Structure 1
């Protein structure tokens, strides 16, 4: 019976069925996958596939490479299907949320949200990212920053080279930025592309329009550079480092986000991240460097 795309109970049943085949742990792969395993992975809903994949690899360690090859095949088939769907369909990714508070001598509270969703076709990747970070101390707001960005990546077959364009809006009142638009177009290179490790770098010209709270507005040309590293440390633990920079003669910006995500159950994961945000020429009274650590829960969409 095929697995229901909406029923997590079906996955548990299949996992129990797999667990009855414990002798597979000691048996080497002899070609092909164990009966039922391919159907299970193909029928799994995308949001649950990582969990099913992890269970399968633990129960059938000799078939890890075959399982990875099958997942790649499933991903390619999904990209081809998404290419023929409406633009609002085929999106997936993660949203995370965290909060903090303190009482007593100091009363403080804060909330942070992050969004990272994408839509992949055989040659294109549409990606929407964003974050919101608010905090107050003793009833006075001391953090107010948020941003929303869109990136389009265009691949060229199996070539590691790609083209991209991006648009971002951001606001950081305590850094003196009332609003800032950044547009970039350029190219990139996929340095590493394996099942466990991905690394890409990009570079291109950029335009930036900034409205400061207490300084003159700026419209400047510059260069944008970026790098993104994803490393699957284990089946349930992932490391990600994202670095972006915009360089211009007036003010250069650098932002680094380091995150460690561990699966808790199904589509729910725990996330710890550290962000360093640097402005070379901030508005009067603002510091060059902002750092913040966050702990939260991440939900795979």
Structure 2
């Protein structure tokens, strides 16, 4: 059993421990959990290393859920889980979670049976989208909010009037596999020119292997006059703004949130995006009239968005 690192806020727990929710974010290397009060306040957190295999993942979910709730477990109403891979949110069944050696697993049913609680499972990007929407929009969840996850791949989570959208087959938001990039790099999905072959965290690392993390190093080198860095950065920012335009013109969201590992670059990522956006707006009154710059936000790096969003998603079911 993995060791736990748990943090509680005693004042919040004492103030109101009825109707608590647990949110769990499962990654390739760690599992993070939060205990959330009815008003959305995080009252406890926990983190353990992730282990591979079906039995280990279920065991760790049950363990961290009980640990983060502590003596208030009996007051918990539901558990939400965010995890990579294919997720059937209606049944809690997950598939093809490569980093955890999972082919298929009835995660929701198995964890729910052991915990004695309703367990709702979401794709990790969707969970993070819900978390980011609640953190940045607060109580005003009206309109559409799009979360762009610039991680190992590229995907979007869409929250409409507080409701997470899944689409007909669950493939909504798979914008990374829209094959429009002119560089026409091969994508593991079988296509060429997918957006994520240029503007995901993994692709930037491939295009600019001279720095780790690559995006801050790429931006710095470009600003210092490195011509190759400037060429690569122009390629990356072109794909980023293609992505922004697609979700903006498809969903007309009030907020477009940059998340994922690449978003940890911080404001410089927004700045280079705005520069490319301004170049396009200079020749397109229609695009300029959308005021996209006013809608861009960075996901708060210090918040456990995946776990928080998983808790909120479970609460809405």
TM-score, normalisation: structure 2:
0.28
Q: Which has the higher strand share?
A: 1
Higher Cα radius of gyration: 1
Q: Which has the higher helix share?
A: 2
TM-score, normalisation: structure 1:
0.29
